[in-house]
Amino acid sequence: MASKYITEIAISTTREMDQQLHDQDYDKINVNLNLGTSSTTRVYIWYKKGNGKPITRVQFSFTAEMKDVLKKAGFTELPENLNPGTQGDVIQLWYSSGASPKYDIPIEDLFLTTNEQEEAHQFKLGWERLPCNLNRSNSGDFITLWLKRKSKTYICDVAAATSFQQHIDLSKEGYIRLDEDLSRGSGGKPIFLWYRQSTTVGGGITEMNACINREQDSILVERGFTVVNVNLNEGTCGQPVYVWFKKDGSLPIKALTVTSNPDVTGPYDEAGLILIDRNLNAGNSGMPFYLCFAISRQSPWTRADVDRISSKPPFGGVGSPCDLHLSDPAAHCGGLTVPEEDGFFSRTSTEIFIQPDIALFGKVDVLLE
C-alpha cells in the first residue's frame, strides 16, 4: 500500500516525459512553469506517493554555489532546468527526506500558484510557501510552489547566512532556506534567510520585524525582540538592515516568507498576513524585498471528538464555560487527563475554546490541547 506522503518528485519538459511519468503513476500539477513567457517548452512538476521515505524538504537552486550547498547537504537533484527557452535563471529543484524527527515533517501535497490572490488563499489554508519565483529573471507569471505537511507547523527559529558554509551547517541543523537572495541587484554578497519549524507550540517565534535605522533598533529592544545578527545590506552602499524576532510565550507564527511582488499587499492583508513595510534592500539599487509572516489566529490545539457539551449559562460561543463529555477517556484537556472511569471533565476556564457554530448535543469537534 502506497504512503500518503510524497516520496518522489520529477520534472517533465516533453510530451514523451509526460507519458512516461503518467505510466509510472506520478501525479501532475497542471501548471506550465513557463506560463507567461515566450518559450514553447512546457514544463511540469510531478510527484508520487510511493513506499519510500517521505520527502520533508524542497529547495531550489539558481547559482552554482547553491547547487554545491545542496549536494553537500545530501539533497536529491532534479537535472531539468525549470526555466528553459527563456532569458531567465537556470532553476533546479532539489528534495530531501531529512533525518530529524523534530524538524523534518513529511509533505503530503504540492500546489502551484500563479498570482497573488491564489497565494493568499493558500496561506489561509495553512500551506507553506517557497518564495523562489519559478520564472525568476524573465517576464513570465510569478509562479511559486507550496507544500502541505502531515501536521500543522510553527516557526521556532530563524537565521541568516552570508557564506555557503553557513548554509551547509544550517541545512544539517534542520533549517529551511528561503530561496531568494536578499541582496539581489545590490552588488552585495548573497544573503539568505533561513527558518526552522516544528509541530511543538511552546517556545516558538511569536512575532517578526525588521529595522533600517538605530531608532527602530532601540524600540524593538524595549519591546523584547532579539536581533538576527547579520546585516542584510552587508557589502552594499545601503544602511544596515536587520531582522528581529520575538518569543514571548504566546501563540507562535505559522508561516514566514519574503516577497518582491508589490501586488501582494491587498490579498495578503485580507488573508491575515502581516507584511513588514521596510525594504530589506533599503538604501541601495537592489530589488525591494519585504518580510511577511502569518500569526496563529486560533488556538493551536488538536481536535478531539466530544459526545456531548453541557453549557454553563450564558452560552456565548467561543471561550464559553462548559462541561465536556469526551468520547475518548484518554484525551487531554488543558494539560489535564480526563478521568478514565467516565470520560467526563468539567472546566470553567476560557482555555477551552468552542467553535461558534457548535451544537450542544451530538458528535462535535472542540479544540483541546
DSSP, collapsed to helix, strand or coil, labels residue 101 as: coil
- Look at the block and give the residue holding cell 468539567: 346
Q: Which three cell numbers stand for residue 205?
A: 517565534
Same domain, 306 and 288: no
Q: Is 70 inside any structural domain?
A: yes
Q: Is 269 inside any structural domain?
A: yes
Same domain, 187 and 331: no
- Look at the block and give the residue holding cell 531567465: 88
- Tell me what pLDDT residue 249 has: 81
Q: Is 191 inside any structural domain?
A: yes
Q: Is the pLDDT of residue 331 over 70?
A: no
Same domain, 261 and 231: yes
State pLDDT tens for residues 294-307.
988 654 334 444 44
The amino acid at residue 349 is S
State pLDDT tens for residues 128-182.
999 999 999 998 999 999 999 999 999 999 999 999 999 999 999 999 999 999 9
- Tell me what pLDDT residue 157 has: 97
Q: What is the pTM of this model?
A: 0.80
- Average of pLDDT values for 210-229? 93
Domain of 356 in residue numbering reads as 302-368
- Tell me what pLDDT residue 2 has: 65
Rounded CA-CA distance 80/221 in Å is 46
Q: How many separate domains does the chain show?
A: 2
- Tell me what pLDDT residue 132 has: 97
State pLDDT tens for residues 24-65.
999 999 999 999 999 999 999 999 999 899 999 999 999 999
- Tell me what pLDDT residue 237 has: 86
- Average of pLDDT values for 278-287? 93
- Tell me what pLDDT residue 201 has: 87
Q: Is the pLDDT of residue 346 over 90?
A: no
Task: State the pLDDT confidence band at 352, using cuts at 50, 70 and 90.
Answer: very low
Same domain, 263 and 353: no
Same domain, 144 and 204: yes
Residue 258 · residue 232 · CB < 8 Å: no
Task: State the pLDDT confidence band at 258, using cuts at 50, 70 and 90.
Answer: very high
Residue 155 · residue 204 · CB < 8 Å: yes
Residue 85 · residue 39 · CB < 8 Å: yes
Same domain, 345 and 218: no
Same domain, 97 and 183: yes
Same domain, 116 and 226: yes
The amino acid at residue 354 is I
Q: Is 125 inside any structural domain?
A: yes
Last residue of a domain, one of 294, 321, 344: 294
Q: Is 37 inside any structural domain?
A: no
Last residue of a domain, one of 240, 262, 294: 294
Same domain, 345 and 235: no
Of 172, 220, 224, nearest to 196 by C-alpha is 172
- Tell me what pLDDT residue 229 has: 94
Lowest mean pLDDT among 21-30, 124-133, 190-199, 328-337: 328-337
Q: Which helix (H) or strand (E) holds 118?
A: helix 116-124
Q: Is 364 inside any structural domain?
A: yes
**Residues 6 or more apart in contact with residue 14 via CB below 8 angstroms:** none
Last residue of a domain, one of 294, 325, 342: 294
Strand pairing class (361-368; 332-333): unpaired
The amino acid at residue 42 is R
Q: Is the pLDDT of residue 239 over 60?
A: yes
- Average of pLDDT values for 320-333? 43
Same domain, 228 and 251: yes
Q: Is 205 inside any structural domain?
A: yes
Rounded CA-CA distance 364/38 in Å is 52
Range from 26-40, 234-248, 250-264, 289-303 that averages highest in pLDDT: 26-40
Task: State the pLDDT confidence band at 1, using cuts at 50, 70 and 90.
Answer: low
Q: What percent of the chain has pLDDT over 90?
A: 69
Same domain, 273 and 320: no
Residue 162 · residue 230 · CB < 8 Å: yes
- Tell me what pLDDT residue 46 has: 98
Q: Is 22 inside any structural domain?
A: no
Same domain, 120 and 154: yes
